[in-house]
Amino acid sequence: MHIEHRNNVKVLGRGPATLVFAHGFGCDQSMWRFLVPSFEERYRIVLFDSVGSGASDPAAYDRAKYDTLHGYADDLIEIVDGFGQGPVVFVGHSVAAMVGVLASIKAPALFAAQVMVSPSPSYIDDGDYIGGFTRDDIEELLQTLHDNYLGWSSNMAPAIMGAPDQPALGQELTNSFCRNDPEIAAHFARVTFLSDHRADLPRSATPALILQCTDDMVAPVAVGEYMQRTMPSSVLALIDNIGHCPHMSAPSASTDAIQSFLARTLT
């Protein structure tokens, strides 16, 4: 199957370096529209939809392959290898950030840097580690999602988006969630929220920017601080913002942080 069709790959912009953007759970590549214009004059931009999301090929969804994040990491490696034109800067939101970590471990030569927007290696509290949820919280969330996906989406998407002064963004995320196949979304949610990739963080030597909001119900600041301590070549930047999607609700601050990181890292 051709990668371009499988993942609805789009290439735009111009420049010597390539930025590859990957969306998070329940989203698609359109979520990057607030950031891309600030970069496409100086960089090639590669956008895509993860299999099971957006306009990706539904026939490509293989439950066994995508039963862990490694299946998505293998797809990412193929996309970067096919469209990257050299080592790329990978920009991943939420769970996609961890997909990028796994891909950078498997194929380090393909990645010059990574920007991790609201990432989390594990969502469940464990001893001194603060993930933001208890195991019971996650199991209840997954059961509700399985039993009533549309109702769950309507309730959770605005809370995940945050941005109380921009209600249209919460509605957009709700609509995006609701466009996804409920069965695939429930499976991806289980893979995402039960994953634990803390042990993989020190294995990634790719320079990384960890970009987090000061008030994020999904990935609290303690998660970013843990990642910064654990990843050998990482920096943490906090955005004074409410929610899990600063690339949408705080695009100017997100752009500034990313541009500053790239100026230091790619020179």
Residue 40, token pair as written in the block: 């496409």
Residue tagged 């933001």 (tokens): 132
At 222, list the tokens: 């303690």
The residue assigned the tokens 């961890």 is 98
Three-class secondary structure of residue 264 per DSSP:
helix
Q: Which residue in 16, 67, 74 sits closest to 41, CA to CA?
A: 16
Catalytic residue annotation: 94, 216, 244
Strands of 10-13's sheet in order across: 10-13, 43-47, 17-22, 88-93, 111-117, 208-215, 234-242
How far is the first Cα of the chain from the last one, in angstroms, to the nearest whole number? 37
How many residues can be counted in the chain? Answer: 267
Q: Is 262 exposed, middle or buried (0-12, 13-18, 19+ CB in 10 A)?
A: buried
Strand partners, 101: none
Measure the CA–CA gap between 189 and 49, rounded to whole angstroms: 16
Q: What DSSP state is assigned to residue 132?
A: S
Nearest 10 degrees: Cα torsion 223, 224, 227, 232: -170
Integer Cα distance of 173 and 180 in angstroms: 11
